[in-house]
Chains A and B, each alone.
Chain A
Amino acid sequence: MISVEVKNGSLLDVQNLNVTYKSTMFRVDAVKDVSITMNKGECIAIVGESGSGKSTLAMAVMKLLPPYATVTADKIMFNGVDILKVNDKELAKIRGKDVTVIFQDPISYLNPIISVGDQMIESLSSHNDKITKKEAYEQAIDLLKKVRIADPERILKMYPFQLSGGMAQRVFIAMAVSANPKLLIADEPTTALDLTIQAQILKLLNSLRKEFNLSIMLITHDLGLASYIADRIYVMFNGKVVEEDLAEGIFSQPVHPYTQMLIASSQAIYHGRTRELSKTISDMGKVEKGKKACDFADRCAKSSEACYNEPQLVKYDGTKKVRCWLVE
C-alpha cells in the first residue's frame, strides 16, 4: 500500500468546485464548494447516497458534463495542467490518456457493432500514431492477459453483447489502463455485477494499482468497497463534502452525524443487526426541507438551533475535516 505520508507530488488539486445544472424549468446545485486533493499513487473514495453529487463531481473534474451544466472552480490542477484554462484539443489529449474513466455499465459504453478487438485497437492507436495494427493487436492481447482474461484471442473476436458483465468490465478496464494513465476514475464499477465477480474486479483493481502505479478515484455508495481499496475517503451529502479523512479515521472516529449513520447502517447490515440500530435513524425527516441551512438537519438526530445557519468544512484534527456545528 502506498502511504499518504510519502510526499510524491500532488496529482489532482480541486478547489471550491461548484456545478449547477440549469434549464428553463429548473436549477439544481449538484456540487457545492467541494475541494479535493489527490497525491500520485493515492486512492481516494467518494462515498454518498444517490443524488449526493458524487458522479457529477468526478465528471466535472475532466469537464465531461453536458452543456447545460455550469462548472466553476477556483482551481482544477491535474498533473501540473490547469484544466480550467486548457482548450478542448489539449483536454482531449489528457482524457483517455492521463485520465480514464470506467463506468457502472460497461456494455453500454462499448460500441455494440464493433468487435472488442477492433475497439481496443482503435483506442490504442488513438493515443499512439506510430503503432501498426498488428502491434496494437499484440498489445491488446497483452492487456487482456493483464486483466486476467484467460483466452484473449477469443474475446477479441467477440462483440460487446456476447460478453458477460464481468468480462465487459475487464475489457473496459484493459482499455482504460492501456495508455498508462495517471488517474483512473471508477464510477460505481461493480454495482451491476454479482458478488463473486465484484470480488474479482476489486482484486484486479488493487493489483493494477501496484502494477501501473495508478491513482484511483472510486465513486461508490458501498462502504465495503471503499474500505477495501481507499486510502482516504470523502463523504458527500447533498452536493457537499461533510467529512474527509484517512479511511481508517472515517471508520474509527466518524464525527459528522451523517457519516456515523452511514457507517452504523452498513455495519448493521453486514452483521445482520439492523434491529439494534437507533430509532433516530430515519428517512422520514422531522421538519420540512429547505427551511434549515444545514442540509442534513432534517434527518439529523442531533440538530439544534445552530443548524439554521450553514456550517463550514473545518479542520477537526490532523487529517480530518468536518462540516458540522457540533465540532466548532
Chain B
Amino acid sequence: MNEAAIFAEDVRKYYTVRVGFRKKAEVKAVDGINLVVREGESHCIVGESGSGKTTVSKLVLGLEPPSSGTLKFFGEDLKEILVDKDKLRNFRKSVQAVFQDPYSSLNPRKTVKEILEKPFKVHHIEHTNSTIEALLQDVGMTPPQTFLDRYVHQISGGQRQRVCIARALALKPKIVTLDEPTAALDVTIKAQILNLLIDLKSKYNLTYVIISHELPLLKGIADKITVMYAGKVIEQGPAKNIFNRPHHPYTIGLLESIPPPDPKTAKEKPLPVMEGEPPSPVNPPTGCRFHTRCPFATDICRKEEPKLSEVEKEHFTACFHLRNVIQ
C-alpha cells in the first residue's frame, strides 16, 4: 500500500493560557487523535467551535508543530521537514490552504494577476500571463482576461473565493486544506464552489482536508469523515456510513439539528434538541467528554474514557452504549 498522504498517530496539541493574573492553564485543543488520509481522498473534519478542528488544520499545514505524537506527510516526519530548509520549502509548496473568509485573505491593494503571480515569485518558478489565465480558467472565471487587472473589491464574494482557490492551486500542490471554504458565501454560491472543488480535485489529483461545521454540505464531497468533540475524535469512518448509519449519539444529534429547507418536513418533524453546550477545552469533563449532554450517559461514562472501536469496516466510534444508541 502506498504511504498515506497524511498520517497522524496520537497527535496532541496543548496551548498554555493565562487564567487570571498568575495562574496558567493548559488548553487541550487536540488531545490524541489518529488520522490517516490517503492520497486522492477528501477527508472532512467536523465539529463545533472549540472541538479542535481548526487546530488540526494548522497541524496539517505544518504551521504549528504538535506537542506530542507523530505526524507524517507521505512517510516523512514533520519534525524532520521543519528543520531542513529545502524540505520545508518543498513542503510549503505541496501543502496549500484556502480559508473561510475570502474578504480578508486577499490583499486589497493587489490585482487578481498580482495575487496569483505571488506564489510563483516566492518559489522562483517561471510563469507567463497564460499560466495565470489558465488558472483563472480552471476555477471557472471566464473569460480570464477580464479579471486580470481587477482589484479584490471589484469582484464578488464567490469570485474572491475562486481566486483563493486558484492561488492555492498555482504551484500544483498535493494536499489542500480548506477551512470552512463556503461558510462566508451565499447559498447559491456555496453549491457552485462545492461543485468546483469536486471538479478540481480530480483534475489536479488533489488530497483535501476539509474543516467544517456544516455536515450536510459535505455529503457530496467527503470520502471520509472525522467527528471531533472537545479535542477528541468520537467517530471516524467512510462518509456514507457516517451519514446513513451514524453510531455516536453526538453525530446523530448533530445530523438531526439541521432544519431542513422545506416547511412541510420542518413543521411535521419537530427539531430534536441536544441540550447543553460544548464543554470548555481548558477543563473538559472526566470520562467521556460528551457525557454532560448525552441522553444515554451512565456512571461508566463519567468515570472512564471510551476508546474508538470498529463498529463496521473502517468505521470507528467511541461510545460505551452503542447498542442502546442504535436502537
| Residues on A facing B (Cβ under 8 Å) | 1, 49-50, 164-167, 194-200, 202-203, 221-228, 230, 247-248, 250-252, 261-263, 265-275, 277, 281-284
Contact = CB atoms under 8 A, between A and B. Distances in A.
B202 interface: no
Contacts of B49: 165, 194
Nearest to A50: B186
Interface in B218-267: 218-220, 243, 253-254, 257-267
B271 interface: yes
Contacts of B188: 49, 261-262, 265, 281, 283
Interface string B199-224: 00000000000000111111110000
A227 B158 contact: no
Contacts of A226: 261
A272 B219 CA distance: 4
Contacts of B266: 224, 227-228
A196 B48 contact: yes
Interface stretch (B34-42, B273-281, B305-313): B273-281
Contact of A271 (B190, B216, B257, B263): B216
B322 to A, nearest CB: 21
Contacts of B273: 196, 199-200, 203
A282 B215 CA distance: 23
B194 A274 contact: yes
Contacts of B265: 227
B208 to A, nearest CB: 15
Interface of B: 48-49, 140-142, 156-159, 186-192, 194-195, 198, 213-220, 243, 253-254, 257-267, 270-275, 277-278
B145 to A, nearest CB: 14
Contacts of A263: 261
Given A228-B259, A284-B140, A284-B142, A194 B192 contact: no
18 contacts: A49-B186, A194-B213, A196-B253, A196-B257, A196-B273, A197-B277, A221-B186, A222-B261, A228-B263, A251-B262, A263-B261, A269-B190, A269-B217, A271-B219, A272-B219, A272-B220, A283-B158, A284-B142
Contact of A270 (B186, B189, B260): B260
A270 B261 contact: yes
A269 B259 contact: no
A196 B262 CA distance: 19
Contacts of B259: 199, 202, 222, 224-225, 227-228
Considering the complex of A and B, which 8 residue pairs feature the smallest CB-CB distances, nearest first?
A272-B219, A49-B186, A199-B257, A224-B259, A223-B261, A283-B158, A266-B261, A194-B48
Contact of B187 (A197, A228, A266, A275): A266
A324 to B, nearest CB: 17
